[in-house]
Chains A and B, each alone.
Chain A
Amino acid sequence: MELVALQGLNFVYISLTLALVALGLAVVFGLLGVMNMAHGEFVMLGAYSVLVVQNAGLPLLAALPLALAVCAAVGWLLEYFVIRHLYRRPFDTLLATWGLAILMREIVEAVFGRDYKSVNQSLPGTVEVFGAVYPAYRVVLMALMVAFFAGLFLWYRRSNTGARIKAMVSNPALATAVGVNTAVLARGAFIFGVCMAGLAGVALAPLVRVEPYMGIDYLLSSFFILVVGGLGSLVGLLVGSTVIGGSDAIVSAITSKTGGYMTVLVISILFLWLRPNGIVARD
């Protein structure tokens, strides 16, 4: 029972984190049409924030504001100097963000080194959930993520900004004409998207090896989540992360990590082939 609860919690934790990464990618891809190939590198920045905070001897939750600040700053720089000149040129943004991803990796490698770092596992404070002993840090993060998804869902449906974003997506020229500042809105959406990746990086740091090349895996898994779940709805996103995270976890446990990876890839190609718009298509 304890083991089941522990595995269940781990699975929920991973799925939520993946959904968070995919949410960021979906915002940038779905709203702005930019496939941000550097998305995974923001996950990496988030993970390195945890490392920096730990090396400085600060409490781990201090990594959250640090990751947000770093990702927002880098995201702003990229949007301002590169991305905004390339909106509506999807292939060029793919290339440019691919180059920026290499650049970000190489800079981090030059500063922190190529080798794997790991974040201290023995976190202070545990809570008992369904009989399983679980680190309090992760319970807090999980609660934060759930609250965040719920809040975002309500906000996007109700708020003015949500309406303005929808207007910008469906007709940018008209949105500009009726007074929506699409430039600011687009920049906001981009920064929001990469900050989600950074937050997910904070959540992932204690579980994985932190290294400059860690981001690619998250770019791919969040992309697969979008392929399976479809763009444009939060439900699809959660379904997609459960399918991708779940099949990876189950097949990896039965066969090997490679088997899990191959399963995810096959599922994604099948979805691309059979349901090009994902499970929950955008209307």
Chain B
Amino acid sequence: MASSRAINVLFLIGLLLVPFMWDSFVAYQLGLFLLYGMVGQGIGLCWGRAGFLPLGQALFFGVGAYVFGFALKLEAGPLILVAGLLAAILLPALIAFVVGFLVFIRQIGSGPYFSLITLALTMLGFQLANSMDWLTGGFNGMTGIPALPGTDTYETLYYVIWAALVLVSGVLAYVGTAPFGQLLGATAQNEERLQYFGVNTALLKAIAFAISAAVAGLAGALFAPHQGIVTPQSVGFLLSAEIVVWTAVGGRASLMGPVLGAILIGFMASELRDSFQYWEVLIALVFVVVVIRFPGGLWSLVEGLARRLPSIGAKGARKRDLETDKSRADGSVRLAFEDVELVLGPVRILDKLSFRIDTPGVHSIIGPNGAGKTSAFNVLTGRLKPTAGRIEYNGATVGGLSRHRIARKGIARKLQIPSVFPDLSVDRNLDIALWAGNLTLSQMFTLRPFRWSTPLLNEMYDIFPFLEDGRQPAGSLSLGQRQMLDFAMTCLTQSPLLLLDEPCAGLSSSETGEMIDAIERIVATTGSTAIIIEHDMQVVERLSNHVLVLNQGALLANGAMEEIRSNPAVQAVYGGGSK
């Protein structure tokens, strides 16, 4: 990781020396490509890290250019210029945040909706820039923009652009290393799981998009004095598409890849565009191949390492020396389902399900396949909205709330299929669980949360020693270890209520034994309440004295194990009670 940082610094120093090695005209041309490269770095944050693709980034570039161009043309002193620069950065960020949040809160994952909406926005921006003659100069553009005061456009402006590039690179590197960037990477891998940790992923993605827009706005602001003219092309779809191509070819997952892509393709285009008719066709072809086959782009060649972990922040030895106390003052749990119904299409999955849980310890839900066990968890954790009925948790209604809200009320869930963040290290996975529910938005941008530790974490290391080898990616663990990591993460949230969906599924018999011991021990030390869904009656028998039997979406029986065994209705469902 240190080597990667050294290459970035060398690259930046190399760029600073260009005016001395070639002439200032080359540096002038290069300045434009650096500006485009910065926009690409912003796209890299969204696409390479968070996994959603903005297709209209030129909109923010163009807004920044028009706004700062306008301020420059006023020639009204430094105060106006500073205000103009701030507006050129903040206005795009605001637009991006609002649009991003509106879309992301409705559409989980990297679906096409976001990309198409951003594409439509840039088309709209182009039309607006064309039609608002009084402000933008219309089709002919905003002309006669003076040079940035104190600089010469063809000589010293290059150093200002270079400084902006260094600033942007520094900020993006820091943001990527901080918890914010780690959570963003986790979003790309398993957004839903992250929501069960209480993370508002829509907000996270909207902030990332706003940062990328702010970077584009800054680049646009410098574009105005660099070119002396801003035309509607600067907000348009074509420029947006070109920058996406440069970002991909340069390397979307790296910090400097987009800059390299912009420089290389930019210079080659200015040489070849006129002499070689099929130049654009060639570039489009390269883009298709790179996107599908070489997601690392050219920068991965520079680094000589094709595949890297996205966890840039991983350092050699890490210290967890900040004890945080996550245990909640009142760990008691009162959960009530009242006539909860869930109807999906023609299927009635939950049919007036009612039960209460208000004692600590392990409660089990059993029942034949299709009885509605996992669906009960789904409506409780916000994956599905109940069609009717009430779900109350500690006095508040939770049915129908969004996943992260419910998680923040103190309900943690382990899914049936172990779902960890495979490309992140084991350590980072544990971090995310420790942060769950506790990390404030401002802490996401500091490095201290990496040092958090809790007494329970040390107990987890004791129970599952493999967790101490924290640097391996979680995806390289065996299935059993992933189950255990997932379980550990669920417990580390220290939610009063733990929902464990078949925690022993796919485990060998010795692993099952370990898991049972672990559940018993954790529930005892934290005083939390656990509800487990389980098919294995031995597990149920060992862990819990309270069993709920579900059948056809309703509660069939409810009581201690012995009562359940002797219940004729339960015996009938389980084939005469042979088990």
User: Which residues of A are interface residues toward B (Cβ below 8 A)?
Assistant: 29, 35, 37, 82, 86, 90-92, 94-96, 98-100, 102-103, 105-107, 109-110, 213, 216-217, 219-220, 223-224, 227, 256-258, 261-262, 265, 268-269, 272-273, 276, 283
Q: Give the residues in chain A near B55, CB-CB below 8 Å.
A: 98
Contacts of A216 in B (CB 8 A): 119, 123, 237
Pairwise interchain contact A269-B103, C-beta atoms closer than 8 A: yes
Nearest B residue (CB) for A86: B292
When the two chains form the complex, which single residue of A29, A96, A110, A217 contacts B292, counting CB atoms closer than 8 Å? A96
Which one of A90, A223, A265 lies within 8 Å of B124 (CB-CB)?
A265
- Interface residues in B, total, Cβ within 8 A: 43
Do the beta carbons of A82 and B281 come within 8 Å of each other?
no
Q: Is the CB of B284 within 8 A of A269?
A: no
Q: Closest Cβ of chain B: how far from A105's Cβ, in Å?
A: 8
**Chain A CB within 8 A of B111 CB:** yes
Contact status A220-B120, CB under 8 Å: yes
| Interface membership of chain B positions 511-533, coded 1 if the CB is closer than 8 angstroms to chain A and 0 otherwise | 00000000000000000000000
Q: Tell me whether B487 is interfacial, beta carbon within 8 Å.
A: no
Which residues of chain B come closer than 8 Å to A90, judged between CB atoms?
A: 110-112
Q: Is B131 an interface residue (CB 8 A)?
A: yes
Q: Are A110's CB and B124's CB within 8 A?
A: no
The distance in angstroms between the C-alpha atoms of A110 and B238, with both chains bound, is 16
Q: Does B507 contact A (CB under 8 A)?
A: no
Contact among B103, B112, B292 for A82, CB-based, below 8 A: B292
Check B285 against A273 for contact (C-beta < 8 Å): no
Q: A106, B281: Cβ atoms under 8 Å?
A: yes
Residue of A whose beta carbon sits closest to that of B106:
A276
Q: Which residues of A contact B66 (CB under 8 A)?
A: none
With A110-B280, A220-B119, A272-B113 as contacts: A258 and B131 at CB distance below 8 Å: yes
Q: Is the CB of A265 within 8 A of B120?
A: yes
Q: Answer yes or no: B163 CB below 8 A from chain A CBs.
A: no
A277 to chain B, nearest CB (A): 10
B74 surroundings in chain A (CB, below 8 A): none
Tell me if B's interface is mostly helix, strand, loop or mixed: helix
**What are 18 A-B pairs at a CB distance below 8 A?**
A90-B112, A94-B110, A95-B248, A96-B288, A98-B244, A99-B287, A106-B283, A107-B281, A110-B280, A213-B237, A216-B123, A217-B123, A223-B112, A227-B113, A256-B131, A272-B103, A272-B113, A273-B102
Tell me whether A257 and B117 are in contact (CB under 8 A).
no
Which single residue of chain B is at the shortest CB-CB distance from A283?
B345
The one of B115, B130, B345 in contact with A94, judged by C-beta atoms closer than 8 angstroms, is: B115
**How far is A262 from B115 in the complex, measured between Cα atoms in Å?**
17
- For the complex formed, measure the closest distance between the CB of A218 and the CB atoms of chain B, giving whole angstroms: 12
Q: How far is the CA of A100 from the CA of B286 in the complex (A)?
A: 11
Q: Please, what's the 1-or-0 string for B287-302, where 1 marks a CB less than 8 Å from any CB in chain A?
A: 1100110000000000
Residues of B within 8 A of A268 (CB): 117, 120
Given contacts A99-B291, A110-B277, A273-B102, contact A261 B127 (CB under 8 A): yes
Chain B positions within 8 Å of A276 at CB level: 106-107
Q: Check A102 against B284 for contact (C-beta < 8 Å).
A: yes
Q: State how many angstroms separate the Cβ of A59 from the closest Cβ of chain B.
A: 32
Complex interface residues of chain B between 113 and 155 (CB less than 8 A to chain A): 113, 115-117, 119-121, 123-124, 127-128, 130-131
Q: Could you mark each residue 216-251 of chain B with 1 if its beta carbon is under 8 Å from any beta carbon of chain A, else 0?
A: 000000000000000000000110010011001000
B286 to chain A, nearest CB (A): 9
Provide the residues of chain B in CB contact with A269, threshold 8 Å. 99, 102-103, 117
CA distance A269 to B99 in the complex (A): 9
Chain A hits for B117, CB < 8 A: 265, 268-269, 272
Known: A90-B110, A220-B119. A82 touches B288 (CB 8 A): yes
Q: How far apart are the CA atoms of A261 and B126 in the complex, in Å?
A: 11
Complex interface: chain B residues within 8 A of A37 (CB): 112, 115
Whether the pair A261, B123 counts as a contact (CB closer than 8 A) is yes
Q: Which chain A residues lie closer than 8 Å to B285 at the CB level?
A: 103
> Smallest Cβ distance from A127 to chain B, in angstroms?
35
Decide: A258 near B127, CB < 8 A? Known: A95-B292, A223-B116, A272-B103. yes
Known contacts A96-B288, A109-B280, A258-B130; 17 further A-B pairs (Cβ under 8 A): A86-B292, A91-B110, A94-B115, A98-B115, A102-B284, A102-B287, A107-B281, A110-B281, A213-B237, A213-B238, A216-B123, A220-B120, A220-B123, A223-B116, A268-B117, A272-B106, A273-B102
Q: Which residues of A contact B123 (CB under 8 A)?
A: 216-217, 220, 261
Min C-beta distance of A174 to chain B, whole Å: 17
Report A-chain residues with C-beta under 8 Å of the C-beta of B130: 258
Contact partners of B292 in chain A: CB under 8 A: 82, 86, 92, 95-96
Among B105, B241, B281, B345, chain A packs the most CB atoms within 10 A around the CB of: B281
Check A94/B284 contact, CB under 8 A, given A261-B123, A265-B124.
no
Chain A nearest CB, measured from B362 CB (Å): 36
* Chain A residues in 8 Å Cβ range of B281: 103, 106-107, 110
Q: Considering the complex, give the chain A residue whose CB is closest to the CB of B119.
A: A220
CB < 8 Å neighbour of A95 from B99, B128, B291, B345? B291
Q: Does B51 contact A (CB under 8 A)?
A: yes
B127 and A257 contacting across the interface, CB-CB below 8 Å? yes
Residues of chain B contacted by A261 (CB below 8 angstroms): 123-124, 127
State the Cβ distance, B139 to closest chain A Cβ, in Å.
Answer: 13
**Nearest chain A CB to B236's CB is how many angstroms away?**
10
A213 to chain B, nearest CB (A): 8
The 9 closest A-B pairs by CB, nearest first: A35-B112, A99-B288, A103-B284, A106-B280, A102-B284, A258-B127, A91-B110, A106-B281, A95-B291
- Residue with the highest number of chain A CB atoms closer than 10 Å, among B115, B245, B288: B288
Q: Does B87 contact A (CB under 8 A)?
A: no
